A and B are shown apart, each in its own frame.
Chain A
């Protein structure tokens, strides 16, 4: 994710966070935005070949609704942009060689999620959650001035766990988890050579949210 993109989402999130509690009822709704490291660890060889081990940064915006003490339902949008290079590997056991052509890989996810919040432990509330949705990706390569693109959409699933602290209207959290996006790639390119088709992977993000209480 570029700084400009992250800043834009953060600004929208902040604006929404400030606005929504006024319209929401009884503090059940919250707006959250998050940012953090996103990997493609479910396809480690592809990730290493294209991104050379560099992690991706993603930023997201979500709207959640707390039902009762424990349950939270939400919808989220997430955007991840990673920069790498085109590469080549002879076969799935071979070293990848990077060819120097810049490649930008952008993923946009839309998720519906449900989480269970446990009772407080000191100042924080632990929670676990699941999500499902759609991921749309776009690959853009610049080969000596000529641009090549490809794109596709597929399903995405997510499991997560985190800690959250509520301070008045402010909600701070740290969350980790894993995303699965099977059959998203693997029909061509390096992912096909390595026989990897999952765009998902481990992630760690920091969250900040705004609610009525």
Chain B
């Protein structure tokens, strides 16, 4: 099952039919490769989100940069000292000297001082000295605080999946880098103006590598379905640009590879061809592709595809695939291959989505949503909101009717894991096995303790994964 709810990007009013469901062949990706079933198109009328729909934004980009590089001042080495009311300034400053404070700054609002210790004395030592003085009411190490980065994209507050995975803390640590690319093997991506195809409006700042189309054997991997553009947007939609939605690894590069046709169908041979393209790509003598996202699947085990994926993993590329949308076990292939990270889907409650396939090969979960629910109470269905274009228009040959869509499925969960893999690669973890282990060890257990067939190792926690491990914690 795959559902859509459209939020027009530009139109102030959007008056298509409300909650209209019907069989949809143009969304046949999961039909073709994940087994039988009906997909749904669900459109929401009269609930268009506009830049002026009441949301006001403060640009926090400068604060984000501060958070990423760490404080210039060593705040943690300082001490806060509150002197008792009866202690005058001269006495307080005498105490600072006796405690071996090198420099003290008095608060403009009373007897509170910030004191820096002399060389060789740390903050705890200075605190200890102050606490032994009868003039002191309290003394404590000064703490470090920093601004939390929250993007100013006007639809960010509707992207519940980003809150579920703790994206703001994640962005404090890592936002990706163009030197690390995710190959999106899908229906293509709306990444260039070419013929009837148009670049999606919120890919303005996104870096794209040369693409590949396995059907036409050329570099134009344009999306003629909708699915690949939505998946690529989950990973790297332009973020903090004041409009649209946010992407997880938005400073990473995307390599569009078209392996599925306009109806979402493809073949194992075509996917193997796309994997080989991503593996053999070179730019300046190096291959920036560190992750391959496969939001697709089928029930046929293919030696050709397994071999191609083996080559990718051997080349240091992490391969991520969606588990499937049939609520069956086992998960589809290629998710079922041992060296592929198989991703299932949870809803806004962190409960397994009703469509999410499961089994012994399931590795991790990410929010894929459930359009029948509104667990965060924002008045919107709980799908994953990103940009793509209208699939109905696409079926008529128009690929420029861009909008923001709530889409549900393991196809939406997998790219979140791929994006995290790209962030981890940029952070310094270069081995696919280590990337998978790091995500698994830091996952939030939402099922049985340890690994289980319904949730794998649990829900990804990007910020925890990006922290890595200390010596003993």
Which single residue of chain B is at the shortest CB-CB distance from A184? B472
Which single residue of chain A is at the shortest CB-CB distance from B436? A90
Is A145 a contact partner of B70 (Cβ separation < 8 A)? Answer: yes
CA distance A143 to B120 in the complex (A): 25
Cross-chain contact of B76 among A94, A137, A147, A150 (Cβ < 8 A): A147
Is A145 a contact partner of B428 (Cβ separation < 8 A)? Answer: no
Additional A-B contact list (5), CB under 8 Å, known A90-B436, A139-B472:
A90-B431, A101-B468, A142-B70, A144-B172, A189-B473
Which single residue of chain A is at the shortest CB-CB distance from B66? A145
Q: List residues of A (78-116) whose CB comes within 8 Å of B's CBs.
A: 84, 86-91, 94-95, 97-101, 103, 105
CA distance A95 to B468 in the complex (A): 14
CB within 8 Å for A88 and B434 given contacts A4-B119, A4-B120, A99-B467: yes
CA distance A5 to B473 in the complex (A): 25
Q: List residues of A (25-54) whose CB comes within 8 Å of B's CBs.
A: 46, 50
Cross-chain contact of A87 among B146, B468, B472 (Cβ < 8 A): B468
Q: List residues of A (163-206) whose CB comes within 8 Å of B's CBs.
A: 185-193
Which single residue of chain B is at the shortest CB-CB distance from A10? B120
Is A152 a contact partner of B172 (Cβ separation < 8 A)? Answer: no
CA distance A145 to B467 in the complex (A): 12
Count contacts on A: residues with CB < 8 A to the other chain. 44
Is B67 a contact partner of A86 (Cβ separation < 8 A)? Answer: no
B473 CB to nearest A CB, Å: 4
Q: List residues of B (426-473) whose CB comes within 8 Å of A's CBs.
A: 427-431, 433-434, 436-438, 466-473
Q: Indicate whether B121 reaches chain A with its CB closer than 8 angstroms.
A: yes
Is A88 a contact partner of B173 (Cβ separation < 8 A)? Answer: no
Which single residue of chain A is at the shortest CB-CB distance from B68? A144
Cross-chain contact of B120 among A7, A150, A191 (Cβ < 8 A): A7
CB within 8 Å for A144 and B173 given contacts A90-B438, A99-B429, A100-B428: yes
Q: List residues of B (294-317) whose CB comes within 8 Å of A's CBs.
A: none
Is A100 a contact partner of B427 (Cβ separation < 8 A)? Answer: yes
A46 CB to nearest B CB, Å: 6
A170 CB to nearest B CB, Å: 24
Cross-chain contact of B70 among A89, A94, A144 (Cβ < 8 A): A144
CA distance A181 to B467 in the complex (A): 27
